[in-house]
Structure formats: C-alpha cells, structure tokens
Chains A and B, each alone.
Chain A
Amino acid sequence: MPKPIAQALSRRTATTPEASSIPYWAWLLPVMLVIGAFYIYPIIDALRLAFTDATLTGGAESYTVRSLQRVLSNPALPTILSNTAIFTAASVVGQQLLGLSVALLVVRGERHHLPGMLVLRTIVLAAWVVPGIANGVIWSMLFSESPFGAINGVLRLLELPTVAWLSNPANAMLSAIIANVWQGTAFSMIVLYAALKSVDPSLYEAAAVDGAPAWERFWFITLPQLKAAILVNSILITIQTLNTFDAILALTGGGPGRATEVLSLFAYNTVFYQFDLAGGSALSILLLLISLVLAALYMLFMPKRDM
C-alpha cells in the first residue's frame, strides 16, 4: 500500500469514535501497572531508604541523614568514582571507535560487493550475546597468568616477557576495559551501521564531482551526518556501562584491592555483603543521578533539528 494512503487510513481510524470503544488508557494499563510497581515505586523507596538507617537484615528503621553522610565521607569513594569514570569513558570511546570501524568496513564491503563482510558483522554480534558473567570467565582464561592463560602463553612462545594482566592494578583496569569493549562493540556497530545506511548518497556524489579525497568525505560528510547517532548511542552505552558490573565481578571481582571496583559494584557490595541497605540505596541513587546528568549533558550537544 502506498504510504500516504496508509497514513490517511490510520488517521481516519484513529479519529473514528467506534474505534475507541475501549478507552486508550485501558490498553496501556498492564504496562503502566508493571512500570509503577517495578520501577516508580522502587525508585521512590530507594530514595526514602537513603535517608534511613535500614539494614538488609530488617529490624526497626528510623529516618536519619547519617547513612548518607557515612557513604559520602567513605575514604574509598574518590577511588571508586575515578575507577568508574575511567572504566566508563574508556569503554564508551573504545566501543564507539571499534563499532564505527566495523560499520564503515561492512558498508564499504557492501558497496563494493566484497564478500565476507557479513561474516565480520556476525562475529562481532556473537560476542554481544555472550552473557556478561561468561564474558568475565572467558577473559579470565585469556588474561590468566597460569600456564593455560592464552595471551601470556603466546608471549612465552614468542619469548617475550609476560604481563601481569590481572594482578597488577593498572593492568587489571585495562583488562576489564578490553573485555567490556569486546562485548559492547556490537551495539555501537549496529546503531552506526543503520545511521551510515541512511546518509543521503547524493551528498557523496556531489563530493566526488568536487574531487574531494576519501578522508575529506569522511570528515566533512560522514561524521557530521552521524553526529546524532553517535550522541544517542553514547547516552545509551554510557548508562549501560555505568549500570553493569557482572563482567568485572567474574573477571577481577573488583580487585586487586579496589583497582577495578566501579560504583555499581560498590553499591552492590554495600547492600549484599555489608547488609547496609540505606548506604547502598544512597549509592544507587547517586548512580541514577550521574546517569541523568550525563544524559542531559549529551543532549546539549545534540543538533537542534534532530530533537
């Protein structure tokens, strides 16, 4: 059916009175109930708990700001926050760069009818469906400093010095970032691939007539056209990276020491190992606030016409 007709039909139906014999909100009710019970109410409750002295083991709770003070004055917090910033920033930049590279390769391959590029896309996506916890287990086998560690094993074969991937604090952070980028790249690739496909081809034709070299076409046409997609994608993966810690848990457990302990893992440990429900709630609200602020910051850079 031609699109305008379909749209006209849908508009007609939308305004026909008998079409809405069931009020629209009744259709939305199941989703609203679930979101209310599993998101809105828990978030409000987490906010409330942050101002109490609640523990996981139960018992009477009273309102106080002492839990909040204790959490915010914890001497470990600056380390945790800087770990979180490094891990998140490096993961986002790494995933976007690698995702953009794969997307560009696949699009170029399709345009020039190069076989095999779809295989590349499939391989990258396969890493994405690996559960985060398994991701940590797999990479711990690669980074392991025991005989079965793949990377050090290859280094030994090449008679090069081995690297303390997980037991040296600085390397452990790098290792965690590599494992995270390995898994997360596929998402960026898919988003940027879709954005690349929707760039108006006539822009490139005009540039080709002008004789612009490839890097100029990339810099002045492709990148500006991708700006909105890159920003939206950055919001999504920044928040995703802030929120997940299962790969880190399985790879390093946050260690050595606190070298790879990020905010979400810290909040988790506070609640479920120290049973400090109030402190953990405060930390999880802090996590939510950081997500919101970062999302708002990215939106500031959004091109106006795309909003």
Chain B
Amino acid sequence: MVSRGGILANVATYAAAVLIAAFFLVPLTWLVSLALRTPQEIFFGASRFIPENPTLDNFGQVLRDRGFLNYLWNALKLSGLGALGSVIVAAPAAYAFSRFDFRGRGVMMMAILAVQMVSGLVILIPLYRYMGWLGLLETHVGVIAIYIAIGLPITVWLLKTAFDGVPIVLEEAAAIDGYGHFETFLRITLPLASPGMASALILNMILNWSQFLVPFIMLSRDAQWPISVAIYNYAGSTTASTTHLLAAACLITILPAILAFLLLQRAIVSALTAGAIKG
C-alpha cells in the first residue's frame, strides 16, 4: 500500500510534470493552431486556439507555390549524404579505437571530442575562401563536405560504442577462415554493428537537418537552399497577414526531424546516454 506521504509526493510529481510538459508543448501546439487557420482566423489570436474552420490548404500552398517541396528535397539530400559521409569516414577510425591497443589512443579520442567544441564560425570563415578557390561555393558538394567534417567527432564516438558491442570471437573465426583484417571489418564487423551504425546515421541526419549557418553562407541561389535557409528567408518576407503560411512552412520544417526522432527514440537516447556517461 502506498502511504499518504507517498500519494502526496506522487501528486506533486504529476503536477510538476504537467507544468513542464505544458512549457514544452505550448509552442508546438500554437504552431499547429496557426498552421490550420484561414487568413481571417489569424487575427482572432488566442481566442481561436482551436480553429473554427480548420484547413490544410496552407500546407498545399507552401509546398506547391512557395517551392518548399524542393527545399525539403534539398535538405534531405544534404543531410542524408552528409550523414552517410560522416559514417563512412568515421568507421575505420572507430574500429581502430575499439579494437587496437596503441599508444595515445585515449588522448586521440579526447582530442577528437575536443574538436567538436570548435565553433562552426571559426572554421567557416577560412573555409568560405577555400571553397571559393576550389570552385565549391554555391554547390551542394561543398556543403556536404563541411557537414561530413562537422558530424565526424560524434560519429567516431558513436561507432566505437557500436563496434565495442560486436563479439571479438566472430572476428577471430573469420581470421581463421583466412579473411584479412580489412575484409573482416567489412564483412563481419560492419554488418553486425548495423543497428548502431543506423542510429549514428539517423542522429547525424537530424543534426544536419538543423544546420543553418553552413548552407546559408555557402548557397545564395534559392533553388539550392535546404529548408532551414528557406524558412529563415521566408520568415523575413512574410507579414502578419501571411502568418498562417509561415506557420505551415515551419511545421513542415520540423515535422521530418520530429518523426525521425520518434521512430528511433530508443536508439537515439541510448546512443546519447552512452556518449554522456563516457564523455
């Protein structure tokens, strides 16, 4: 039986939980409320929290007439290829950190983590000029290259954790069968670590989806923008009378990230937690 003090404490727990949940949910529900309104209802403000004539037209207008379908596609392409690149570049190093015992291993892993703390701005200022010299300004290739570099530190750590979980006896069996070390890595370790690699990939995609500064600086042509840049420019060009469209565009921006997160919440949380405990 729960004591009276226990019940009181449970009530207090729920009261606090509801307050905190409200703080985190209100912005998103307000966004949904605005996105579903007709232009007239925007001006009713909070009194029309639940729209009287909810409409999905705003989404169609934003996707079709304002080019957001293209921005979505650009964002998917940039964040997907960037994430894939990070995983490919990070995998061999993560494998070495997981399997080999060499001098300076711990120091190198900490150094890679420290790199993560360098502001994107510090590296972007010189990189902007290099990309210009290389002819990669205004290209998706240039943006993807920078995404790969930015995602690298966390990916090395996530993949090392994933490889740590693959039993070493399986690799030894492969070695007895005459596999070389790199072949073992490709054919045995990588497939067995695929759940961990998938969550590293998705987490990278979510982080890349949020990237704003890199594409904003690198790309000036409308047709190449990912959705983060598009929403910023769109917000600057809208007025009070088109707020319903801005809200719909904003919802379209955040929904893919939230859906990806909800689908893979367990994997993402455990990946973050593993990093948190070790870091």
Contact = CB atoms under 8 A, between A and B. Distances in A.
B26 interface: yes
Nearest to B156: A31
B232 A250 contact: yes
Given A28-B96, A124-B24, A140 B126 contact: no
B119 A284 contact: yes
Given A109-B17, A131-B209, A268-B121, A34 B152 contact: yes
A20 B217 contact: no
B interface, size bucket: 35 or more
B64 interface: no
A229 B178 CA distance: 45
Given A14-B101, A39-B149, A105-B16, A31 B93 contact: yes
Contacts, number: 280
Interface in B44-83: 44-47
Contacts of A236: 117, 279
Given A126-B258, A137-B250, A148-B42, A27 B117 contact: no
Interface in A6-47: 6, 9-11, 13-15, 18-22, 24, 27-32, 34-35, 37-39, 41-43, 45-46
Interface in A149-183: 149-150, 152-154, 156-157, 182
Contact of A109 (B13, B27, B182): B13
Contact of A43 (B95, B101, B123, B167): B123
Nearest to B86: A34
A120 to B, nearest CB: 5
A242 interface: yes
Interface string B102-117: 1000001000100101
Interface string A96-124: 00100110010011001010110111111
Main secondary structure of the interface of A (DSSP, over half): helix
B127 A34 contact: no
Contacts of A212: none
Contacts of B119: 242-243, 264, 284, 287-288, 291
Given A14-B101, A134-B254, A182 B23 contact: yes
Nearest to B252: A134
A44 to B, nearest CB: 9
Contacts of B30: 138, 141-142, 150
A271 B45 contact: no
A223 interface: no
A194 B260 CA distance: 22
Contacts of B186: none
A118 to B, nearest CB: 9
B240 A22 contact: no
Contacts of A19: 99-100, 175, 181
Interface string B6-22: 10011001101100110
A148 B19 CA distance: 23
Contacts of B257: 129-131
With a 10 A CB-CB cut-off, give which of A105, A130, A271 has the most chain B CB atoms. Answer: A130
Contacts of A243: 117, 119-121
Given A27-B96, A147-B44, A123 B152 contact: no
Interface of B: 6, 9-10, 13-14, 16-17, 20-21, 23-28, 30-31, 34, 42-47, 89-90, 92-93, 95-96, 99-102, 108, 112, 115, 117-130, 145-146, 148-150, 152, 156, 167-169, 171-172, 175, 180-182, 206, 209-213, 217, 228-229, 231-232, 235, 240, 243, 246-247, 250, 253-254, 257-258, 260-262, 265, 269, 272-273, 276-277, 279
Given A11-B101, A14-B100, 11 more contacts: A13-B172, A32-B93, A38-B146, A38-B150, A41-B126, A122-B265, A123-B25, A133-B228, A142-B30, A249-B212, A284-B122
7 contacts: A10-B168, A31-B92, A127-B27, A191-B276, A236-B279, A246-B228, A268-B213
